Structure 1
Amino acid sequence: MTVPPRPVVPGFHPDPSVVRVGNTYWMVVSSFEYAPGVPLFRSTDLVTWQQAGHVLARPSQLDVSAAPGSGGITAPTIRFHDGRFWMITTNLADGGWQVLVHAEDPLGPWSEPVRLTEVRGIDPDLAWDDDGTLLVTYAGFGAGGPAGLVQQAVDLETGAALTERRHVWQGTGGRFPEGPHLYRIGEYWYLLIAEGGTERGHAVTIARGTSPSGPFEPCPHNPLLTHRGIESPVQNTGHSDLVQRPDGSWAIVFHGVRPRGASPQFHVLGRETFAAEVTWEDGWPRIGAWLVPTTDAVEVEELDGPALPDSWVSPRRFPEELLTRSDAGWRVSAADPDPASDELFFAGRRQEHLVARARAVVDASEGVGGLSVRMDARHHLDLEVDGDRVRAVAHVGVLRQVLGETTVATGDVVLEIRAVPDEGHFSSTALGPDQLVAGLVGGDGGFTELGRLDGRYVSTEVAGGMTGRLLGVWCSSGAIVVRSFRYTGSDEPAVVPAV
């Protein structure tokens, strides 16, 4: 297996926005229906990033309870102004449109939100004019749908719009001009945007003008970045943000996907964050060498402490609403189950590697639940412990298929799901992005497979939407106790042996 170029932040971490303060870079990404919202990362070199928590870390800041799959929080922007960090994003799930928060320390606490209810659209940007006026540039919505890239002056304290929205630059003709970021660099204001749609036609384009409101002159060598129509292991490149280093050089962060399998190929990890050098020629930026981690570090994460790792999230609710810590482990409860819903009470972490393994020791003597790999509520593969039975169950849309089952003694059961490379010829339609293998681990360490599923059925191309896979634990009734959970991931197959 050839290892493709690696992202700087792997897994479902799309729409990156970055700011540098001193020698530290801070980056935020979209989180959609998952809580906590807006993952926050920090780095000193733009290559090695560590998650530093979430910006929207409290229920008073974030309500995604009504979010459908790929609804909720989209395309945040982070900036530093007047001694404070500022973050703005859109919550499509609660009717309040834009969410604006600030903090003196990005590690928190972040303020309660100011809502920009007159700024109706997505992908808001923050920029301050020379006189200190806050300008919010965004992809506007109107009565008939998308209204293009627009801009309004906004009161920083109240969120009230100070001007009617005005149209700015609409890009080079690609569909869905969005993701704008506005910068003052030298004598010009530069407007960086995404267009072409976030699928294979995705691209980054840029324009400049002497006023932050335009008119804007497009760059003569647009698109600044795109992988449409080229042979590359990374596709769908777009939605970017520029940042200047302390030495005056520049870089860019952007997202892309790593599709695999037979045509039209499938991506399962979601849109991941990549980075590249930027050089300037004749007053315009150009993309240079990509910034790529030099080693394939094996990631191991265990759920064994008194607090959940920063990586853990839940759809439409905070994980703490489902999980409580006790001496016996983490108790996962199915609170207020809705018999009309196919949503499981799930908490977990993103699959961040092409090859991965999740193992959980669970006691389901008081309920039904287990281990799952999830794309959304309708596309997941579960290991279900129900009394003395363990089943591997595939959910693909409205279809539910038991792939295999066995009898076990009540008490602790060791469950494992593996994402392993698929085997076959690239011209075969049977070649998926990977194979998902679900089974039990015995007392001797041996693995018993209960079922496997072509990974395409837990991919974005099948499920639709904007997110990626998660691996975690779930409960559908009563409660289960998770004694331990361990995630191991790498882009090298040898780390997670096939079965």
Structure 2
Amino acid sequence: MSTVATFTNPILAGDRPDPAIIKVGDEYWMTYSSFEAAPGLLLYRSTDLVNWTYECAALPNPVGNTFAVDIAEHDGRYFIYIPFIPTPWSTLTDASIYVIHAPSMSGPWSEPIDLGIRGVIDPGHVVGEDGIRYLFVSGVRRIALAADGLSTVGELEHVYDGWRYPDDWVTEAYALEGPKLLRKDGWFYLVSAVGGTAGPPTGHMVIVARSRSVHGPWENHPRNPIARTVDAAELWWSRGHATLVPGPAPDDGWWMVSHGYENGFRTLGRQILLEPIRWTEDGWPETVAGDPGGELEVPRGAGPQHPSSAFTDDFSKLRLGERWAFHAPASGEAERLSLDDGLVLAGKGTSPSDTSPLAILTGDHSYEIEVDVDVSDTRTEAGLLLFFNNRLFCGMGIDGERMLSYSGGIRTHWREPAPATRRITLRIRNDEHIVTGWYRVPGGEWIRHAIRYETSGYHANTTGDLLSLRPALYATGVGSARFRDFRYRPLPA
């Protein structure tokens, strides 16, 4: 008897919200909101929807905070429509939609082109039955595009009011957003999200409407929503922002890619979920699993799901995008980096809060990180953090004279009795939110930092910022720091 292969969500762990996906021949390409990270819009490729491989970064230098995008193909060329949000380091004054384009999904991608669309987010591309290209945006509003997709024609117009859920449902806000469109069997399907993307776990949901014409009228799914967290006991919370795609095999049905918070681990951010879709006799999509928190049968032909794995970075090459990304970078932030017997990071700012640390994503409940830190002089501070944003982080660093400790986004009063040194190895263990630190001087024994931290509250509902808690390296001050032998190790459950 053959064993049915299964997978468990997420299919791509860690903070990867608002997934955008396209099928190109026998392959799938996917990216997600990269927010204040640079490089941005990391592109992953898959042949089976379950296992994904990093390929490249489509956006080396973001114009602003990079929100939910849409990927489109038209006449053999590829487009990513991007909403940028103003940040302290950008020149934007309002939400603005741009586009980049390329001859293939692997690039090379153009520089961002401003479409002149202001005050909206979440673009969704579609070609109407009239042959005209359109962008649908939050609201839901719509604007026509020029034939080349690189400029707009006319003005935004309101086209869909959304489906209204019962008033006694507990959500964050109505927030009609994330329109994604597909054309199937003579219908245009409009897949949207309502309910708010953070807040209560029962908020975010997936709704569907359809029309024979891109111009409407839009008929709501009689059984909306097609996906929603209905109970806080479920594994995945705030499920939403979905795209429907055909399976890898011609007879393998359809699948839905969405995002959600893991119950008890909002600190990991919104992770990417996959679940099967069936089409009813009356032509509507419906989810099959109900709760996607258990084992699900893989798409036909999919290989075993790749588990999380340990890695060591000796910094013999610079893995920007593939592994590391700056948080809240200024223009030319990568110029702070060089490779010379490790990773040399020039100092910036006056504390971890304004230094644009280098961070990695993680989807593990428990893990250990370790790095050797060498500061150039006593005018430089550098170290190892668990970093959510510039207001919320914890960890430790050295400045050549003392160890500095951080918790809750501030330097603590605790004076750790570590030796005065310009070189030290730091280790942080995050064991299901319980954070413990160690340090050792070259040739010495490990010493446990005297204070432990609890970080379950380091998440979006605490700070109002849709990010995640990430391992990070920082260097602040006027000198530089050299990092050697970074190690990441998932811990067994």
Q: TM-score normalised by the shorter chain: which range applies?
A: 0.7 to 0.9
Equivalent residues, number: 449
2:394 equivalent to 1:381? yes
The CA RMSD measured in Å over matched residues stands at 2.3
In structure 1, what is the equivalent of residue 170 of structure 2?
none
Q: Deviations over 1:359-383 (max 9, x none)?
A: 1111124221111110000100121
CA offset digits 1:401-451 (Å, max 9, x no partner) = 245513235343110111103xxxxxxxxxxxx212222146476452342
Write the letter of the residue equivalent to 2:347: A
Task: Decide whether the 8 Å contact of 1:77 with 1:126 is kept in 2.
Answer: yes
Aligned to 2:347: 334
CA distance in structure 2 between the aligned counterparts of 1:463 and 1:301, rounded to whole angstroms: 31
Q: For residues 184 and 467 of structure 1, do their structure 2 counterparts lie closer, same or farther at Cα, with a shift above 3 Å needed?
A: same
Alignment of 1:80-95 (within 5 A): 80-93=73-86, 94-95=92-93
For 2:3, the equivalent position in structure 1 comes to none
What does residue 29 of structure 1 align with? 32
Partner residue, 1:322: 336
TM-score (norm 2): 0.85
1:247 Cα deviation from its structure 2 partner: 1.1
2:400–2:422 CA contact under 8 A, matched in 1? no
Give the C-alpha shift of residue 5 in structure 1. Answer: 4.8
**Secondary structure of the residue that 1:451 maps to in structure 2?**
coil
Cα distance in 1 for residues equivalent to 2:73 and 2:150: 18
Residues 383 and 439 in structure 1, CA contact (< 8 A), matched pair in contact too: no
State, as a whole percentage, how many aligned pairs show the same letter: 27
Q: Tell me which of 357, 361, 369 is aligned to 2:368.
A: 357
1:305 Cα shift? 2.3
Partner of 1:109: 108
Equivalent of residue 70 in structure 2, options 69, 74, 77: 77
Distance 1:313 1:408 in 2: 31
Q: For residues 276 and 409 of structure 1, do their structure 2 counterparts lie closer, same or farther at Cα, with a shift above 3 Å needed? A: same
Tell me how far 1:83 sits from its aligned partner.
0.7
Q: Secondary structure at the match of 1:173?
A: coil
Q: Which amino acid aligns with 1:167?
A: H
2:462 maps to 1:473 = no
- Runs of 4+ with >3 A deviation: 156-160, 289-297, 441-447
Aligned match for 2:325, one of 313, 316, 324? 313
Output the CA distance in 1 between the equivalents of 2:147 and 2:419: 60
Deviation at 1:34, TM superposition (A): 1.3
> Which of 372, 389, 411 matches 1:400?
411
The counterpart of 1:169, out of the listed 150, 160, 167, is 160
Q: Is contact 1:228-1:236 (8 Å) kept?
A: no
Give the aligned partner of residue 489 of structure 1.
490
Runs of at least 5 residues in structure 2 that lack an aligned partner in the other structure: 1-6, 87-91, 166-173, 299-303
Tell me which amino acid in the other structure corresponds to 1:161: T
**1:425 alignment counterpart:** none
| Match in the other structure for 1:215 | 217
In structure 2, what is the equivalent of residue 54 of structure 1? Answer: 57
1:259 to 259, 263, 275: 263
Tell me if structure 2 keeps the 8 A contact 1:345–1:476.
Answer: no
- 2:242 aligns with 240
Distance 1:235 1:458 in 2: 17
Letter of the structure 2 residue corresponding to residue 259 of structure 1:
N
Question: Quick check: 1:101–1:114 contact (8 Å CA) kept in 2?
Answer: yes
Q: Is the 8 A contact 1:235 1:257 kept in 2?
A: yes
Q: Which amino acid aligns with 2:246?
A: Q
Check 1:445–1:461 CA distance in 2 against 1; reply closer, same or farther (3 A cut): farther
Residues 210 and 345 of structure 1: is their aligned pair in 2 closer, same or farther, counting only changes over 3 Å?
Answer: closer
CA shift at 1:392, angstroms? Answer: 2.6
**CA shift for structure 1 position 169:** 2.0
